[in-house]
Structure 1
Amino acid sequence: MKICNKTLFAGLLIISLQCACTKELNIDSTKAVGDKNFWTSYRDTRAALMGTYGLLRAALSDNGCFWMYGELRNGDFVSVQRPDLDAIIQGKLNAAYPLFNALTNWRRFYAVINASNIFLERVGDVKKNDPKYSDQNMRVDIGQIRFLRAFAYFYLVTVWGDVPFVRQSHDGSFENRPREDKEKILAFVESEMLAAAADLPYNYSADDPQQLGDYYNEPGSRWVSVLARKLSVYGVLAHVAAWRGDYRSAVTYSKFVLDNYNKSGMYFEPDTYWISAANGMFQGHKTNQLFGLNFEFDNQDATFEGHIEDFTLAEPFVRKALPDIFVPRDSILSVFSAPSDLRFSLDTLTGKPNYTDRWFSNFNSDIPIFCKIKVIQKGGTDPSFRLYSSCLIYTRLEEIDLLYAESLAVTGNTDGAIDALNNIRRIRNVNSFKAGGNEDLIDAIFQERRKEMMGEAHRWFDLVRYNKIKRNNSAFMKLISEGGIYWPVSADILRQNPLIKQNPYWK
């Protein structure tokens, strides 16, 4: 996110000082010193808003959990020599590794929720005290906060299923709470996101009727893909609906993105080099990052850990002999079987890769390097300093198009689903899907998602949705029915609150 360090630090400091959370969430509760001096100026709302984005970014990047939850389990990557990562890949989520202590604890997501609750409770004070804080500014701020809180709950539900439901900060006074039904929470998530989308602009500081003038006195270039926009929310809403199995709503939400993406200056990216370039799609803040969280190098947001590059890169990209994880050659050839695929393919005459800098490098070695995302420092090529600043992208336009295809196929609109699928196949130079051919449409859509979104933390969640649709894998259906698709809950949380029960599958 392009947020100046001073503002982000101030936001995180104020929010952490005020972070009053339940015992079962395992977050220290501290009453803010000088709380009465905060929430008096529009500068305070800006700091708190940016701080909440920062907390969400920290929650998703901690220990690389975004990829631990979404990419590794039952996925295409294998571990080179790390048994903890291999345990995740194999679905042994109750293994006794230090990494699992962090991955099974949901406290960092509740920090986002509590910061959001505090914002919603106190933003009215700023409106009363600061005449420069307009009704429109407050409405847009509230829309973003409602979305961030809803997103945190959505992510919690996809990882743990039933979770505690907290909608007020309660000023630090809490009783232990049990987990609540995931469907109740998802209904809240969808309702909140729809309300947020109604109040958010297509772009900021762009004279959108819903946000006139310069947002917080900054030009539009400052906010491009830094903040949640209207289409960001609809993109995530499509995922919420698909996860609930409500594919008719998923069609509606994803279609809204596809019908309006030009209003946000987005476009389908035909150049796989640009997607995978060190200064391309994943570097900085680009308009085609439909919803993502940035690590701006110029703002000193780059980190040594918490990025996929920390697990996937090795020589010659960085000074590291072997990556932690890789995709075996046989898997690459099986997934990328089209002879002209612009993401990865082999020359039919020489048998050598057509591209050595897109999705994979060092293909002919025993351990190919997944190099689709490789933002070192500010998109440079110096291998000596492993400092990463790649954007954590939750969704982009190509991903939404394939989710739209999935939703159309499930709801019976075969022709529309084929058109959406072939839109991506065409720009990746893969032969079009033909109705009545040997390919199954659902299989083809999910295979295209597998290729296009590899390394972007969708694979596990795609597998869950795929198996709920197909229902032809008895072992996976048993995993779904017994709650094995969710992660176990941290032992620390279980010790703190006897009302929290372990997911039955992991008892």
Structure 2
Amino acid sequence: MKAKIFKFTIGLFAIVFMGCEKMIEINSPLNETPSAGVYTTDKIALSALSGMYGRFSQTSFQTTGLPVYTSLMADDLRYLATVTAPQEYNTNTYTALTASAEPFTEFYQVIYRTNAIIEGLTTYAGTSAAINKQLIAEAKLMRGYAYFILVNFYGEVPLVLQTDANVTAYLPRETVANIYKQIISDLIDAKANLRSDYSFTNGDRLGVNKFTAAALLARVYLYTGNYSMAEENSTEVIQATNLYTMVSTATMGTALFVKNSSESIWQLPQPVSATNQYTVEGSVFLPSSNTVAALFYQLQPSFLSIFTGTDRRRTLWMRDLTIAGNQYVVPAKFKYRTHSEALAANVTESQIILRLAEQYLIRAEARVRIGTNISGALTDLNVTRLRADIPALTTTNPSVLLDEIALEYRKEFFCEQAFRWFNLKRTGQADVVLPLLKPTWKPEAKFYPIAQSIINNNPNLIK
């Protein structure tokens, strides 16, 4: 039964909530609340969790926006076609927004489902204590993650913690500090109540555990400047060697971005169908034919220039193309653009939301900023460098180390999970770096605007 959580059938949950979730878009308030019937048995309650993950796996900004659009918004990727929305990400102009062209609506739909689960399991009896504890913890982790994405896109957003549209429909924006406070609270609770392994999903890393919460907490603490807690939580994950190990140099091209890789802490369920074996990134980045018409994205030459000749990420995670006599380089962390291609290769690839390499870089940065374990920071930084087959650094200069950590983030996590975009903003470098590449850059482009159609239905969102 547990494995079925991630098959994402429509089930009772979708029937009960398909109308309710529109409330969270702040544009169509309804007066419905979660039905007690959803929480009368463990089996039906698990269908609610399935619905939450199903909505998450269908969120286009998770599958496409974070790896693709934010790479355009930053300085790693270039758009080659003329479709309006990607061009606006490329130029950071964002003028033609609709409610379906940004993460606000999609992530609040996910948040609605998390709130419904938490409310339902808190209000109604019927589920076992173990299921109640697990599902509330998973919902809180998901809510914390969704708000992390929203606050880093928009800054201040409404803090919605219940399903009653009479309360939530016209909520104003909450401060960034208070949103982070809620994120941390949710993740601490999730960490305390989740299992220490993947037994709830039969070993499948599409599920979450206490180390998933710890890994996300480490990132959140880094972003909020609590470096001692960032170090503490990243260390917990790094020390869980029974679950997590770095993929080796020899297999980093084939064994990392696949389902249940040893480096994966949390992976996205397959989009569209649980039986799919390819990723949206693969289908977007890899052209369907060796023609200019089929090529939509290429890596920026300025980005390619940061890789030394021995860095295996340049050869294993990118693909060089010659089209009509011109040279292009595209991201190729994922090798297959269709299910049939992956099926023929007998490989299942999965988007990685959290992986172990980040925890080493989080701990490296935290240690440098604390200033009491520079040698440990250097050791952590060299983990990904040595795996990529480039020489270890030996400097202990804190300023140089911070620059090298930022560079290593960029090389290790290009076109993954908004790393470059979020890091440019959190370190204050967006207004320094991006104007050099983009004549259209303006400081206000660091935050994504909420679509006018959403603001029209909730004037309290106007800043």
Q: Residue 367 of structure 1 aligns to a residue in which SS? A: strand
Q: Residue 453 of structure 2 aligns to a residue in which SS? A: helix
Counterpart position of 1:411: 370
Q: Choose from 248, 268, 284 the match for 2:246.
A: 268
- Residue 461 of structure 2 corresponds to residue 491 of structure 1: no
Describe the superposition over 1:407-457 as per-residue Cα deviations: whole angstroms up to 9, x where unpaired: 222222322211111122112111111216899211111111111111213
The letter of the residue matching 2:162 is Q
The letter of the residue matching 1:340 is T
Counterpart position of 1:336: 307
Q: Residue 186 of structure 2 aligns to a residue in which SS? A: helix
Structure-2 change in CA distance of 1:422 and 1:78 (3 Å): same
Report the TM-score when normalising by structure 1: 0.78
Following TM superposition, by how much is the alpha carbon of 1:69 offset from its aligned partner in structure 2, in angstroms? 5.2
- Residue 286 of structure 2 corresponds to residue 325 of structure 1: no
User: What is the distance in 2 between the residues matched to 1:320 and 1:474?
Assistant: 27
Following TM superposition, by how much is the alpha carbon of 1:330 offset from its aligned partner in structure 2, in angstroms? 5.5
User: What is the distance in 2 between the residues matched to 1:229 and 1:171?
Assistant: 31
Counterpart position of 1:48: 48
The letter of the residue matching 1:360 is R
Q: Residue 269 of structure 1 aligns to a residue in which SS? A: coil
Structure-2 change in CA distance of 1:255 and 1:229 (3 Å): same
Structure-2 change in CA distance of 1:361 and 1:105 (3 Å): closer
Describe the superposition over 1:119-168 as per-residue Cα deviations: whole angstroms up to 9, x where unpaired: 11212566x33xxx431222122111111111111111111111111111
Is the CA contact 1:12–1:48 (under 8 Å) kept in the aligned structure 2?
yes
Structure 1 segment 65-80 matched on structure 2, within 5 A: 65-68=65-68, 70-80=70-80
Aligned length: 452
Counterpart position of 1:158: 152
Describe the superposition over 1:312-332 as per-residue Cα deviations: whole angstroms up to 9, x where unpaired: 11156x898532111145641
Structure-2 change in CA distance of 1:379 and 1:289 (3 Å): farther
Q: Residue 239 of structure 2 aligns to a residue in which SS? A: helix
Describe the superposition over 1:444-499 as per-residue Cα deviations: whole angstroms up to 9, x where unpaired: 1111111111121311112123336x9977979xx999654210111011111111
Structure 1: segments with no counterpart, 5+ residues: 206-214, 345-354, 503-507
Following TM superposition, by how much is the alpha carbon of 1:46 offset from its aligned partner in structure 2, in angstroms? 0.7
Q: Residue 440 of structure 1 aligns to a residue in which SS? A: helix
Q: Choose from 501, 504, 507 the match for 2:462.
A: 501
Is the CA contact 2:6–2:274 (under 8 Å) kept in the aligned structure 1?
yes
Is the CA contact 1:283–1:379 (under 8 Å) kept in the aligned structure 2?
no
The letter of the residue matching 1:55 is R
User: What is the distance in 2 between the residues matched to 1:464 and 1:117?
Assistant: 29
- Residue 437 of structure 2 corresponds to residue 464 of structure 1: no
Q: CA RMSD in A?
A: 3.6
Counterpart position of 2:282: 309
Q: Choose from 247, 251, 258 the match for 1:283.
A: 258
Is the CA contact 1:297–1:377 (under 8 Å) kept in the aligned structure 2?
no
Is the CA contact 1:226–1:293 (under 8 Å) kept in the aligned structure 2?
yes
Describe the superposition over 1:46-104 as per-residue Cα deviations: whole angstroms up to 9, x where unpaired: 1101211222222354682223553221221111123532331232223x3x6x65334
User: What is the distance in 1 between the residues matched to 2:434 and 2:80?
Assistant: 30
Structure-2 change in CA distance of 1:331 and 1:20 (3 Å): closer
Following TM superposition, by how much is the alpha carbon of 1:17 offset from its aligned partner in structure 2, in angstroms? 2.9
Q: Residue 459 of structure 2 aligns to a residue in which SS? A: coil
Q: Residue 284 of structure 1 aligns to a residue in which SS? A: coil
Structure-2 change in CA distance of 1:60 and 1:27 (3 Å): farther
- Greater fraction helix: 2
Q: Residue 267 of structure 2 aligns to a residue in which SS? A: strand
Structure 1 segment 106-505 matched on structure 2, within 5 A: 106-124=104-122, 128-129=125-126, 133-170=127-164, 174-205=168-199, 215=200, 220-221=202-203, 224-260=204-240, 262-263=241-242, 265-271=243-249, 274-277=251-254, 280-295=255-270, 299-301=274-276, 307-314=280-287, 321-329=293-301, 331-332=303-304, 334-337=305-308, 339-344=309-314, 355=315, 357-362=316-321, 365-378=326-339, 380=341, 390-412=349-371, 413-435=373-395, 440-457=400-417, 458-467=419-428, 484-502=445-463
